[in-house]
Amino acid sequence: MTESSSTGARSSLFHLTLGLATLISTLGLGEIVREQWKNLDFKIPDLTAQIQSVRATFFSEPGAAILGGLILLLLAISLQSLLKQLIKSPHVEQAPWTLSPLTVFAFFIFWFIGFLCISLTAGSVYKKWSHLNPTLVLILIPYALQMAWGMFVLLRLGNFSWLSFIKQFSFQISPGDGRKIFQMFTLALVLVLTYSAVINLFLRDPQSQARLHEILGQSRSWTQWIPSGIALTILAPLYEEIIFRGIFLTWLRPRIRIEWAVLLSGVVFALFHMEIVAFPALALLGCILAWSYLISQSILVPITIHALWNLTALLGQIVRP
């Protein structure tokens, strides 16, 4: 889609506001990273003990060890076959967005400013009225507001109408997309679980970054689950895939090599989640979601994978003892 000429020339006030917003965003992100880093407690893993534990398991339960080895071998063969199939898959040919780099940068900065303000306000409200439903106040309402703010900023900066904007995306599932969804979801699950297993060796408190678990607490009430489910399995996949894959990735694709476009979109996706420990895992997930969009003709493919991923994470938090 072509950016109109009225949005091409920005006023001095716009540049001043953008500069101030960039400074605030940088300071805000830096403070969040600093606080998370301060709360991390790293350790040097005892690799000898880990090896001995594996050996003990192998010799004490040979049947389980053999079964585990066969599963790993089958998984390796399956992943190799999957990667070959996905590499050969055709890439999506959605018309690229011709927004100026300044417009794209301004969108992310102004969106992030709104994100910070909404999140801080929600935290202050809940701190003052702690009897309120935490998932409603801290997850669903803030995400709905962030989504509305982001779309408002994007439509205004790009001078789009809602109808012309939404027509850029295909929301149809083609034959074979179900298989792609399953394959990409499985790939994401294997890679992220592998990363989690490795990073947990270096953390004294592996759950130190589990913010969702802290919000859900020990509650088993539907009033806690439903707001989280709506935000994480409906709003987040829909909005984030349209922004990070449907717009940002598609905007990058004609400007840089496709591998770098996938990587950069994944990194920016992870950056906006603001989790130090989970950053590499989120970047991996973002790259897989980007890849899934490039080899399909529908934004519904990454949306579905994203929804399945968030549903898995949510269920994992709910059933945790």
User: Per-residue pLDDT tens for 221-274?
Assistant: 777 788 888 999 999 999 999 999 999 999 998 888 888 999 999 999 999 988
pTM of the entire structure?
0.84
Structural contact between residues 266 and 287, judged by C-beta atoms closer than 8 angstroms:
yes
pLDDT above 80 (res 95) = no
Structural contact between residues 85 and 182, judged by C-beta atoms closer than 8 angstroms:
no
* 92 DSSP 8-state letter: P
Structural contact between residues 1 and 98, judged by C-beta atoms closer than 8 angstroms:
yes
- Residue-wise pLDDT tens digits, 177-190: 888 888 888 888 88
* CA-based nearest residue to 195, from 280, 78, 137: 280
Which single residue is written with the structure tokens 């947990």? Answer: 200
Amino acid 215 reads: I
